[in-house]
Amino acid sequence: MLLYAIRKLAYGFLIIITVACTVSSIIYLSPVDPARLSFGQLSDAGTVEAKRKALGLDQPLPVQLLYYLRDLSPVVVIDKNNPILESYSGVMFSMSSTKTFVIKWPYLRESFQSGRPVAEILKEAIPLTMILAFCSILLASLLGIILGILSAVRHGTWIEQVAMVVSTIGYSLPSYATAIFFAIVFAYLLQPLTGLHLTGSLLEVNDQGDWIIEWKNLILPVVALGLRPVSIITQLTRSAMLDNMMMPYVRTARAKGLSSTVITYLHVLKNAMNPIITGISGWFASLITGAFFVENVFNYRGLGVITVKALLDFDIPVVLGAVIFTCVMFVVINILVDLLYSVTDPRIKYS
Amino acid sequence: MKTTKLKKKTGSVRLWWIIISAYILLKCLINPQPVVSIGNSGLRLGLFNFSNDISDPINNDILTIQPLWKVSAYKTHLGKDSTLPPLKWDSLGNFHLMGTDHLGRDVFAGFICGLEIAVLIGLFVAVFTCLVSLILGVIGAYFERFPLHISRPEKVLWIIFAFISPLMLGWSILGAMTFIGWIWYLILFVGLVLIFRKVFRTKNRILPIDTFNRRFQEFFQPLPDLVILLVVLAIFDKISFIGLILILIILRLPAGAWFLQGRAQQIVHLPHIDQVSTMGVSVWRIMGLHIMPLLKSYSVVFMSLTASRAILSESALSFLGIGPTGEWMSWGSMIRLGLNNMNMWWVALFPIIGLVGLSLLFRFWYKD
């Protein structure tokens, strides 16, 4: 089990390194010159050349790539008088008179457009996306499990048919379509009744210029993002419950004289939870990318809005940081889901 | 006496033919132009005659039969006829089934263009992904059952080849490597393999063809599709229709090859494969005639799921405003337009309905 986890982790690490290499090399190869980009039209050749030197763009491509990986890695050995040391945030250990050993956070460089560190930009955006994804998965699992239990208990009736039709439609609705639909209905047509805003982020600036938390702005994105997981979890719960209801232990329990409520909620539901939990945790990862669209609809300043804006502006470090962060999230969640299988179902053993 | 009942052709297959031919017939009635015409802007897929203004050269010809149902073009038409709600006639006598947007463009025309683009993308991606992953999966499963024995140095050579080839593919995409370079590379590799086979005779290793699909899948599985698409779009800035289809195929390929290899591995262990291989039937014949036909039902399921996913991916990109740009109209960009102009709910509503309907249709296609 531990060995399996270590092997999976090593493999995930390899994937992240490969992704970082590929993405950075491909993006640095593209025809746009970031040095020109950060000044615009009002610059002379000397300034651009100096900026190129500062960004390390005058170096050959493999060297640039190695520099990026050096900034990214948490452990590094470099010269004491290297100016990049000022940007690292971590602990330094002196090794010799010239070399120093640094344990640091991954340094994602600075944005070409605003000049701010990418880590700072991401630090503002990631919590917003996380809150959005977490709230919607919470909503989805609550609603989905209730609907799934209902349709499994009322198997063969109109309740089940309605739930199945609704969940099938909900599954094939892309999240941005749902988001626009909700935006039009609840924030435009029914605006006087609901009082919701068409666009807005969780953190907003009020008239006095202070940052305030607007919980109201979270409602529509959460519902729009959660609709697809609701349908998945409904179907998962229903099929898991129905599978378990066919098992011999249910017949035994019924023969023992237990009431059907106890059988359904204490025996069947407990055994059916296993695939549901793994399904929910697997969907959490894809919700983060699903949030890209919903955020763009509601202009909710999370990871998605920042990435798409950076892509349109060709702000390479921000795109790289967001892509690498998303990949790390995906890899970590996938490993956790794999391990969760064996925790929830003791019959599964990894060797 | 027992009579064997001939299997009837199911009605749904006939239904598909009826739908397709009715569509083409309707198009010919409304539009006297050929179904697909090569215009100066490449492949033109305008199926209805979208132009009713005289300045358009297509309609200027006297010999052209005038369309029965005048569908207004998806063209700018500023004036008081803009922003018409659905089911309205404008001052020129055009009927707008789905209304017009703020520039006076007919939403129905855009809807039909988007439908064709979506169907084309879905079908192309599904069929080509399925074909390539079928080939990869069957080869993997076959060589898992009947392994190829090779010598140790040759295996090292194969591993080097497997690592260098993707790199060279990347170079050739970026223009650093030419077609001639590939030919030299392949000649060099094949020559080395042949020399190694002559020199090293002890064949105590197995060529791990079946693990290729697995590694391929293991690498791509944790990467979100959208992120890969965003990166590719960031590199090429402006992407073409064919380019988008290629990327979507590459994205869906690992999952497909892994899925079909898993199914083929069950088939490879069936007794009839043993029989034909002992009879001395050639490898390609076994793969093509004895394994692939048994995978038909699985491929149809895979194709239907791939098609609906491809449609959603394409419209998602167009929605974000970074999709393929060109002569056509995509549902995603219409939805984006509807988002920016909320008072025209019909601009966003009809493409959303179309998107959901089409992806549902593709999803339940395999149930036929």
**DSSP per-residue string spanning B83-95:** SPPSSEE-TTS-E
Of B231, B308, B363, the CB nearest to A23: B231
Alpha carbon distance B345, B338 (integer Å): 6
Q: Best mutation site among A30, A61, A180 for testing chain B: the one with the most B CBs within 10 Å?
A: A180
Contacts of A199 in chain B (CB under 8 A): none
Contact B92, B52 (CB under 8 A): yes
List the one residue out of B114, B104, B100, B110 whose CA is nearest residue B346. Answer: B100
- B contacts of A183 (beta carbons < 8 Å): 339, 342
Portion of chain A with pLDDT greater than 70, in percent: 94
CATH 1.10.3720.10 spans which residues of chain A? 118-344
Residues 328-367, chain B, touching A (beta carbon < 8 A): 335, 338-339, 342, 345, 348, 352, 355-356, 359-360, 363
List CB contacts (< 8 A) between B359 and chain A: 172
* Confidence at residue B99, expressed as pLDDT on a 0 to 100 scale: 78
> Chains A and B: how many Cβ contacts under 8 Å?
101
Search chain B and give the residue with CA nearest A175: B316
Amino acid present at B90: D
Of A8, A173, A176, which to mutate for an interface test with B (greatest number of B Cβ within 10 Å)? Answer: A176
Tell me the pairing of strands B37-39 and B42-44.
Answer: antiparallel
The larger pLDDT score, comparing residue A245 to residue B82, is at: A245
Q: What is the pLDDT along chain B (368 residues), one digit of tens a residue?
A: 445 555 555 566 777 778 777 776 666 555 444 333 333 232 334 444 444 343 444 444 443 434 444 444 455 555 556 777 888 777 666 677 787 777 777 787 778 777 877 888 888 899 999 999 999 999 999 998 888 898 999 989 988 888 788 777 777 766 667 788 888 989 999 999 999 999 988 888 888 888 888 888 877 776 777 777 877 776 666 677 788 888 899 888 999 999 999 999 999 999 999 999 999 999 999 999 999 999 988 998 899 889 988 998 888 888 887 777 655 678 888 888 888 887 888 888 888 889 888 888 887 766 65
d(CA A178, CA A186): 12
Sequential DSSP letters for A241-270: HHHHHTSHHHHHHHHHT--HHHIIIIIIHH
CA distance B167 to chain A (A): 10
A198: chain B residues, CB-CB within 8 Å:
342
Task: Tell me the whole-structure pTM to 2 decimals.
Answer: 0.77
Residue contact B355–A331, C-beta within 8 A:
no
A186 versus B53: the higher-pLDDT residue is: A186
Superfamily of structural domain A118-344:
MetI-like (1.10.3720.10)
- Which positions 46-105 of B are in contact with A (Cβ < 8 Å)? none
**Radius of gyration over every alpha carbon of chain A, rounded to an integer in angstroms:** 26
- Nearest chain B residue to A167, by CA: B360
Task: Annotate A292-313 with b (16+ C-beta within 10 A) or e (fewer).
Answer: bbbbbbbebbbbbbbbbebbee
Contact flag B321-A312 (C-beta cutoff 8 Å):
yes
Q: Between residues 236 and 255 of chain B, which touch chain A (CB distance below 8 Å)?
A: 237
Those residues whose C-beta lies under 8 Å from the C-beta of residue B81, and which sit 6 or more positions away, are B90, B91, B92, B100, B104
How do beta strands A203-205 and A211-213 pair? antiparallel
pLDDT at A175 over 50: yes
pLDDT at A138: 92
| A26 vs B contacts (CB less than 8 Å) | 170, 174, 231, 235
Which of B227, B315, B341, B361 is the best residue to mutate to test the A interface, defined by the most A CB atoms within 10 Å of its own CB?
A: B227
Best A24, A25, A26 member to test B by mutation, with max B CBs in 10 Å, is: A26
Contact B226 A292 (CB under 8 A): yes
What tens digit of pLDDT does each residue of A278-325 get?
788 878 877 887 788 888 888 888 888 898 888 777 787 888 888 888
Mark yes or no for CB contact A293/B223 under 8 Å. Answer: no
pLDDT at position B75: 54
Closest alpha carbon within chain A to B176: A29
In Å, how far is B143's CA from the nearest CA of chain A?
25
| Listed ranges A72-76, A332-336, B41-45, B274-278; the one with the highest mean pLDDT | B274-278
Residue B78's pLDDT is 54
* CATH 1.20.1270.360 correct for B71-148+209-368: no
Distance from CA of A304 to the nearest CA of B (A): 10
d(CA A260, CA A242): 14
All structural domains of chain B with their residue ranges: 1-70, 71-148+209-368, 152-202
Tell me what pLDDT residue B12 has: 66
Chain A interface disruption, residue of B320, B322, B330, B335, most A CBs within 10 A: B320
Phi, psi for residue A12 in degrees, rounded to 5: -65, -40
Of A19-23, A154-158, B47-51, highest mean pLDDT:
A154-158
Taking contacts as CB-CB distances below 8 angstroms, the residues of chain A near B311 are none
For residue A205, the cross-strand partners are A211
> Is residue A57 scored above 60 in pLDDT?
yes
Measured between CA atoms, the residue of chain B closest to residue A182 is B339
What distance in Å separates residue A321's CA from the closest CA in chain B?
A: 12
ipTM for the complex shown? 0.74
Mean model confidence pLDDT for chain A: 83
A172 contacts on B by Cβ (under 8 Å): 308, 312, 356, 359-360, 363
CA nearest neighbour of A34 among A61, A57, A62 = A57
| Residue A255, pLDDT score | 92
Return the residue of A nearest to B229 by Cα. A323
Residues 6+ apart with CB under 8 A from B238: B325
Q: Which of A205-209, A345-349, B252-256 has the lowest mean pLDDT?
A: A345-349
Would you call A172 and B218 a contact, using CB atoms and an 8 Å cutoff?
A: no
